[in-house]
Structure 1
Amino acid sequence: MSSKKMVNSVEGCADDALAGLVASNPDLQLLQGHRVALRSDLDTLKGRVALLSGGGSGHEPAHAGFIGKGMLTGVIAGSVFASPPVGSILAAIRAVAQAGTVGTLLIVKNYTGDRLNFGLAMEQAKAEGISVEMVIVEDDSAFTVLKKAGRRGLCGTVLIHKVAGALAEEGMGLEEITKRVP
């Protein structure tokens, strides 16, 4: 253990953080073989839209801290400052679809790796017949030069989680939720 950080290892800190969060919160479960945390009551979401988000680790409990009723259904964590892998994102999409949800909205921050990996997973899920849409959050006002990647998604992302979560909780459909957030 480093004297500067409270982690066992950089390589395992994302796994340790998710395992600790799930161990301390009975409303969460891990998807085995992936850095995916999901609501433990997925069976209550039949007929509703699921919301998935995520991104690089290193700021825990960010992303997983936003899972719950009226918020996210689950999150996919990457390594420290790295986007989640396509396979884990696809596994999360499949897991919520198998629970009987009517569609999945991916809430993605405007980082190149996140856009690519969540986008690829979405296309693979659609090819399997799963209803999935994606919204990109780009609220960062610190970037004023928009010629390259554009604004990142930062603190405003949690507001999108909350608005989309409330709409999903009310039973609104995937297409309508997608139109109403960003």
Structure 2
Amino acid sequence: MGKGVVRVSIKNFTRQNLKVLTGVPFSTVSDAVLPGWEVSLVFVGATKARSLNQSLRSKSYIPNVLSYEVGTKSGEIIICLSEAATESPRFGMNERNFVLLLFIHGLLHLEGRAHGATMEQCEQKLLAKFLPAQASAKGRVRTSPNVSTNRNRNRHRHIPGKTGRG
């Protein structure tokens, strides 16, 4: 690590052992995305994740990751380990690498990025840079699950002469 790098503070509020995450370069990745920031990484269970999502965002589902600024150049990333374990196969990743993806995703939100193609490209570049060689040798890692989106659903909605129906 470089001079002046602040290590990521990690707290585990689950009963899960974090041995699977040994060696994940959280501090190095954090410094690459948000140099000079203090980042707290918190692992929680499903109940706590849902409760935090409800209180912070008024959403009732269990999120895989939440992130929010705590102060100037200070933020917290909360990852639900049980949700990460459930979702990782849909992304074609093991749990360890998926947690790294969620951490990167949270950092990019702290940086001010919104969901979209640009954010996914950043995630891809950072994963390629920080994943172990054997993990990235498998080819491109999906940063979005293989599900359809409604991104173009209303594309022709306001064009004169188009009803939006097929």
TM-score normalised by L of structure 2: 0.31
- Structure (1 or 2) with the greater helix fraction: 2
Which structure has the bigger radius of gyration? Answer: 2
TM-score normalised by L of structure 1: 0.30
- Structure (1 or 2) with the greater strand fraction: 1
